[in-house]
Structure 1
């Protein structure tokens, strides 16, 4: 029984990380694509940076909200905050990179 609990705990952590990586990455990349630089072309380094910043913002939003007891893991408010944080960071990055 302890092995099943350990597996569930580990899968929850890894799935949460992958979800934040995907949500943050997609949000950051979409902001980078919709708001290209001054030359109008999409730079691969800029896309990678936006992906990483969005993923970090999504994970930080989730962990900060859980730390401050705003929500628990898996609640819809957690997902909404991660999407909002990743989009906000992506937009700020796109605005500053111009």
Structure 2
């Protein structure tokens, strides 16, 4: 929690672009590596696309929750919704791409 407070004080932002990128990349990479099945074709392009899908849905999940009024920026529920949306989208993409 101290790191988030420090970022807010120094940068003036709560979660930001970099956090969504990291959450999306980790969930996309883990969904791609641990999803059972064989990869067809070039694996690197689909792997990077899974990470991009995770990033987009992490950002969309957090911003949608703020828009609907479920939580405010910087709350723990924002992190959880970003992680959940990112993992769900990455798993669905990995299942369809393999």
Structure 2 unaligned runs (5+)? 1-7
Q: After TM superposition, what 4+ stretches of structure 1 lie above 6 angstroms from structure 2?
A: none
Residue in structure 2 matched with residue 68 of structure 1 by the alignment: 68
Change in Cα spacing, 1:96 to 1:39, as seen in structure 2 (3 Å) is: closer
Larger Rg: 1
Cα distance between partner residues in 2 of 1:62 and 1:81: 6
Tell me the CA shift for residue 41 of structure 1. 8.9
Tell me the CA shift for residue 38 of structure 1. 2.5
Change in Cα spacing, 1:80 to 1:10, as seen in structure 2 (3 Å) is: same
Deviations 1:37-65 (CA, angstroms, capped at 9, x unpaired): 52489811111101100000000001100
Change in Cα spacing, 1:66 to 1:40, as seen in structure 2 (3 Å) is: same
Tell me the CA shift for residue 94 of structure 1. 0.9
Change in Cα spacing, 1:35 to 1:62, as seen in structure 2 (3 Å) is: same
CA RMSD of the aligned region, Å? 2.4
Residue in structure 2 matched with residue 56 of structure 1 by the alignment: 56
Change in Cα spacing, 1:25 to 1:77, as seen in structure 2 (3 Å) is: same
When the two structures are superposed, what TM-score results if normalisation uses the length of structure 1? 0.80
Residue in structure 2 matched with residue 91 of structure 1 by the alignment: 91
Residue in structure 1 matched with residue 34 of structure 2 by the alignment: 34
Residue in structure 2 matched with residue 44 of structure 1 by the alignment: 44
When the two structures are superposed, what TM-score results if normalisation uses the length of structure 2? 0.80
